[in-house]
Structure formats: C-alpha cells, structure tokens
C-alpha cells in the first residue's frame, strides 16, 4: 500500500519527534557531564588545604574557599534540577514518539 499524503505527514512528524528525542538526549548527557565535573571540583576542594583558584577567562584568580564551595554547591543543585527536568522531558518525548510510531504502524497495516 502506497502511503498517502496524511501518512507522509505523520512520517515527517515522527522523524521530527525522533530528532527532538535525540536533542534531549544530548542535553541530558551535557548536563550529566557538567554535574559530574562540578561534583569532582567540590570533592577536590573539600580535600585540599591549599588556596583555591578560579578560572576567569584566561586568568586564574585566587578565591575564598568558602565562597567557592558555596558557588559550586549552588551550581550542583541547579544542574541537578535541570537534569531532572530534562530527564522528565526526555521520558515524555520518548512516550509520545512511541505512541506516534505505534499509531502509524497500525495505519500502514490497514
């Protein structure tokens, strides 16, 4: 059975949904990487007794350990929230994609 215009539109929509899922996966992976980096920085900061430095553009600037700890903790919390939101969005997009895919397959089998 040759696909009609409506079916072709559904296929295009399905491809678009797949791209959205892929973009969301990339966002999640980026956030996971940033969160891991931040956690590692916090861990290192907690273990060191030396003066910490912060990268500001091409410069390294000495910073107060307590202030840096607060900044990193805040960043970690923000990244965790963003990661949770993107994971929920990814799950929702995957579900929509799967439902659209099943609907299209049923139509093609008729």
- Domain parsing of the chain, residue ranges: 5-109
pTM of the model: 0.84
| Element at 86 (helix H, strand E) | helix 65-109
Q: What is the CA radius of gyration of the chain?
A: 22
SS (H, E, C) 15-44: HHHHHHHHHHHHHHHHHHHHHHHHHHHHHH
pLDDT digits (tens, 9 = 90+) for 54-78: 999 999 999 999 999 999 999 999 9
Q: What is the pLDDT of residues 1-32, one digit of tens each?
A: 455 788 888 889 999 999 999 999 999 999 99
Which CATH topology does 5-109 take? Answer: Helix Hairpins (1.10.287)
């Amino acid at each position: 059975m040759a696909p009609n215009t409506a079916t072709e539109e559904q296929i295009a929509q399905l491809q678009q949904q797949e791209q959205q899922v892929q973009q969301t996966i990339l966002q999640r992976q980026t956030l996971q990487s940033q969160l891991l980096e931040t956690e590692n920085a916090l861990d290192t900061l907690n273990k060191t007794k030396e003066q910490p430095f912060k990268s500001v553009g091409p410069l390294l600037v000495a910073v107060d350990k307590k202030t840096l700890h607060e900044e990193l903790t805040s960043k970690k919390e923000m990244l965790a929230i963003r990661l949770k939101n993107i994971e929920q969005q990814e799950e929702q997009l995957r579900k929509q994609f799967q439902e659209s895919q099943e609907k299209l397959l049923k139509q093609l089998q008729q």
